[in-house]
Structure 1
Amino acid sequence: MKPPDAAQPKTDAPQPIQPVAAPGDVLQVERHDFVDLVPEGRKRVQSMQGFDPVYTDIVDYIVRCTHRIWDERDVGLIYSHYTHNCVVYTAAKTMYDREEVVRDTIERLVTLPERRGMATQVIWSGDDRRGFYTSHLVTGSGRHSQHGSYGPPTGRTFVSRTIADCMVHKNRIYREWIVADAMAIVKQLGLDPQALAEKAARARLDKGLLAVDIGENRRMVGQYPPESEAILDIAATDLERHTLQWLHEVWNRRMFGRIKDVYAPTVMYHGPLMAELTGIAAVMHQTIGLMGSVPDASFEPQHICSTPCAEGGTKVAVRWVMEGHHLGHGLLADLGEPTGKRLQIMGISHFHYRDGRIVDEWRVYDQLALLTQIKLAQMADQREAPAT
Structure 2
Amino acid sequence: MADAARTKTEPVATIDPYRPHRAMPGDFGISIGEKGSTRRWLRVDQGARRQSMAGFDDTYVDIVDYILRVTHRIWEEKDIGQIYKTYRHNSKVVDDSGLQYGRDKIVADTVHTINAFPDVRLYADEVIWAGDDRAGFHTSHRTVIVGHNTGFSRWGPPTGRLVVVWAIANCVALENEIFAEHVIYNHVSLLRQLGLDVRALAREFGNRALADASGADPRFGEVERLLGQGTPSETPGPVAAHEDVEAFLRYAYHHIWNWRSLNVVDDVYAATLRFHGPGDREYYGRGAYKSFVLSLIATFPDLAFGVDDVYYMGNEQDGYLSSTRWSAVGTHRGFGSYGPPTGRQVRIWGISQHRIVGGRIVEEWLMFNEFEILQQLLRDADTRT
Please report the TM-score for the alignment, with normalisation by the length of structure 2: 0.89
Distance 1:240 1:79, change over 3 A: same
Q: CA deviation at 1:67?
A: 1.2
In 1: Cα distance, 2:295 partner to 2:158 partner:
33
Could you say which residue in structure 1 is the equivalent of 2:356? 353
Counterpart position of 1:103: 108
Partner of 1:186: 191
Query: CA 1:261/1:62 → structure 2, altered by over 3 Å: closer, same or farther?
Result: same
- Greater displacement, 35-44 / 144-153: 35-44
Between the aligned partners of 2:300 and 2:34, the Cα distance in structure 1 is: 34
Q: Alpha-carbon deviation of 1:175?
A: 0.8
> Which of 45, 52, 57 is the equivalent residue of 1:41?
45
Q: Distance in 1 between matches of 2:73 and 2:236?
A: 40
Range moving further from structure 2, 99-108 or 222-231 = 222-231
Partner of 2:7: none
CA shift in 2, pair 1:223/1:142, >3 Å: same
Q: What is residue 146 of structure 2 aligned with on the other side?
A: 141
Q: CA 1:255–1:197 in 2, change beyond 3 Å: closer, same or farther?
A: same
User: Which among 52, 55, 63 is matched to residue 60 of structure 2?
Assistant: 55
**Aligned residue for 2:4?**
none
2: distance between equivalents of 1:14 and 1:76?
34
Cα 1:355/1:108, change in 2 over 3 Å: same
The residue type equivalent to 2:342 in the other structure is T
Q: 1:24 to 1:281 in 2, by over 3 A?
A: closer
Whether the 8 Å CA contact 1:7–1:239 is kept in 2: the answer is no
CA distance in 2, matches of 1:366, 1:184: 12
Task: Measure how far apart 1:213 and its partner are.
Answer: 4.0
CA contact (8 A) 2:15 2:23 kept: no
- Tell me the amino acid that sits aligned with residue 148 of structure 2: R
Of residues 273, 279, 282, the one that matches 1:276 is 282
Q: Secondary structure of 2:23's match? A: coil
C-alpha contact (below 8 Å) 1:183/1:366 kept by paired residues: no
Question: Structure 1: where are the runs of 5+ without partners?
Answer: 1-5
- Is the partner of 1:161 in helix, strand or coil? strand
**2:138–2:170 Cα contact (<8 Å) kept:** yes
2:159 — aligned with what?
154
Which residue matches 2:211? 206
1:382 corresponds in structure 2 to 383
1:171 to 176, 183, 193: 176
Question: What's the counterpart of residue 222 of structure 1?
Answer: 228
Summarize the alignment of residues 316-335 of structure 1 with structure 2, pairs less than 5 Å apart. Answer: 316-330=322-336, 333=337, 335=338
Quick one: which of 286, 289, 297 aligns to 1:291?
297
Structure-2 separation of matches of 1:138 and 1:151: 24
2:87–2:178 CA contact under 8 A, matched in 1 = yes
1:267 paired residue among 262, 268, 273:
273
SS for the counterpart of 1:220 is coil
Answer 1 or 2: higher relative contact order, Cα 8 Å, separation at least 6: 1
Identify which of 312, 320, 330 aligns with 1:314: 320
Structure 2: unaligned runs, 5 residues or longer? 1-11
Question: What does residue range 66-77 of structure 1 map to in structure 2 within 5 Å?
Answer: 66-77=71-82
Instruction: Answer whether contact 1:306 1:315 (CA < 8 A) is retained.
Output: yes
TM-score w.r.t. the length of structure 1 is 0.88
Which residue matches 2:347?
Answer: 344
Distance change >3 Å, CA 309–CA 38, structure 1 → 2: farther
With 58-67 and 206-215 compared, the bigger mean Cα shift is at 206-215
Q: How does 1:249-260 map to 2 (within 5 A)?
A: 249-260=255-266
Q: State the alpha-carbon separation in 2 of the partners of residues 73 and 284 from structure 1.
A: 42
Q: Is the 8 A contact 1:138 1:163 kept in 2?
A: yes
Amino acid at match of 2:349: M
CA distance in structure 2 between the aligned counterparts of 1:276 and 1:372, rounded to whole angstroms:
23
343-352 or 301-310, which deviates more:
301-310
- Residues 1-12 of structure 1 aligned to structure 2 (within 5 Å): none
Q: Which 10-residue stretch deviates more, 245-254 or 215-224?
A: 215-224
Q: What is the identity percentage for the equivalent residue pairs of Structure 1 and Structure 2? A: 34
Q: Which digits, 9 at most, give the CA deviation of each residue in 1:105-131, with x for residues without a partner?
A: 111111222332211111111000111
State the partner residue of 1:26. Answer: 30
Q: Give the aligned partner of residue 3 of structure 1.
A: none
* CA drift at 1:181: 1.1
State the distance in 1 between where 2:319 and 2:75 align: 32
Q: Secondary structure at the match of 2:384?
A: helix
Q: 1:290 is aligned with what amino acid?
A: L
Instruction: Report how far residue 231 of structure 1 moved.
Output: 11
Partner of 2:32: helix, strand, or coil? coil
Deviation at 1:216, TM superposition (A): 1.9
Report the AA paired with residue 199 of structure 1: E
Moved more, 108-117 or 49-58: 108-117
- How big is the shift at 1:48? 0.7
Distance 1:274 1:311 in 2: 32
Three-state SS of the structure 2 residue aligned to 1:196 is helix
Which amino acid is 2:303 matched to? A
Q: Secondary structure at the match of 2:308?
A: strand
Q: What's 2:374 paired with?
A: 371
- Is contact 1:309–1:315 with CA below 8 Å preserved after alignment? no
- Determine helix, strand or coil for the equivalent of 1:64: helix
Q: 1:311 Cα deviation (Å)?
A: 10
CA contact (8 A) 1:295 1:324 kept: yes
Match of 2:94 in 1: 89
